[in-house]
Amino acid sequence: MVEVKNLVKTYGKINAVSDISFTANVGEVLGFLGPNGAGKSTTMNIIAGYLSATSGTVTIDGFDIVDDAMEAKKRIGYLPEMPPVYQDMTVIKYLEFMYGLKKVTLPKEEHLAEIMKLCGIDVIKNRLIRNLSKGFKQRVGVAQALVGNPPVIILDEPTVGLDPKQIIDMRALIKNLGKKHAVIFSSHVLSEVSAVCDRIVVISQGKIVADEATDKIAYMKSDEMRLLLTVEGNSATVISALSSVDGVTKVRRSDRQNDNVCDYNVEYKKDVDVRAGVFRALSKAGCPILQMKDAGLSLEEMFLKLTAPTYSDKGGKR
Ligand code: ADP
Ligand code: MG
């Protein structure tokens, strides 16, 4: 388990990370999501013991990354944003090198074969790293993080620069790793994090602005909720009926399915359940509801809300 408590990192006057706390457990993929410059890499470098914090603590299975660095680091596999590359080694030689460096005691041949299989690089094990595609290089990077079978895997933007097929493969690999490890995976791409992760920690300007199960995040901290409806009947009639319901703040037709059936996007005030009112109003108007779904805000909308820049009273960001 990874426990991050009150992490702060300042560079001169810049607060790259200000008071970040969260935990990550084995069996979960934690998405570390934030726009560029949010402080993701800084945090990950500190967790992995590559960078010292200005204040705060990181423990891995109870071992402090500073005070018990040896024990803590043994339990972490790390793929940094810019991994050191050993262009002139073959894949297998590189993994053997990492095996030696990490002083792993698991049976070497078997262990490395298992990792290469899991990462889908067994077929290229005798090729020079310099000749590999970006996708394969990135998988080799994940493979070296797995050497020694550490319980915690930290991957800093592992899908950057990959083509769509490679991205899909990498996501599947990460998801798979989450079964047996605590995986912390950073990205600035919302759709990717929501597709892969069980939990999302959203970071913005060095601060955590959300820490929620993926399916819950769209419902948080928002004053507006949303119903998605499919209704049969004249659009103007439907919109007028919906608008008359207590608590409804905004009605928009989002799509036309055919001449007489449309989808509607109904925003309403949080803490008001408008569903019964919607049913009655549409029933009175003679417009059957074909589908009704409570949807919260879209993840994109939530992400933009959460990470919108705030300006201090001294002017300027942060
Ligand atoms: P992310 O990985 O989310 O894109 P980073 O952790 O790389 O963000 O950066 C967070 C902030 O810290 C940024 O404003 C960045 O410019 C600043 N920063 C990162 N590294 C340094 C450094 N070595 N010196 C000064 N500022 C830095
Ligand atoms: Mg980064």
Please report the pLDDT score of residue 221 as a whole number.
54
**Cα(37) to centroid of ligand 1, in Å?**
6
Checking if the pLDDT of 297 tops 70, the result is no
Residues less than 5 Å from ion ligand 2, measured at CB? 40-41, 81
**Cα(282) to centroid of ligand 2, in Å?**
50
Residue of higher predicted confidence among 190 and 305: 190
Query: What's the predicted TM-score (pTM) here?
Result: 0.78
SS (H, E, C) 250-311: EEEEEEEEECCEEEEEEEEECCCCCHHHHHHHHHHCCCCEEEEEECCCCHHHHHHHHHCCCE
Q: Could you report the per-residue pLDDT of 224-269, keeping only the tens digit for each?
A: 688 999 999 999 999 999 999 999 999 999 888 898 999 999 988 8
From first CA to last CA, the distance across the chain in angstroms is 31
pLDDT-wise least confident of 160-174, 222-236, 257-271, 301-315: 301-315
Residue of higher predicted confidence among 305 and 96: 96
The mean pLDDT of 169-183, rounded to a whole number, is 92
Distance CA 232, CA 6 (A): 53
**Cα(12) to centroid of ligand 1, in Å?**
12
- Using a pLDDT cut of 90, give the percent of the chain over it: 70
Q: Could you report the per-residue pLDDT of 20-58, keeping only the tens digit for each?
A: 999 999 999 999 999 889 999 999 999 999 999 999 999
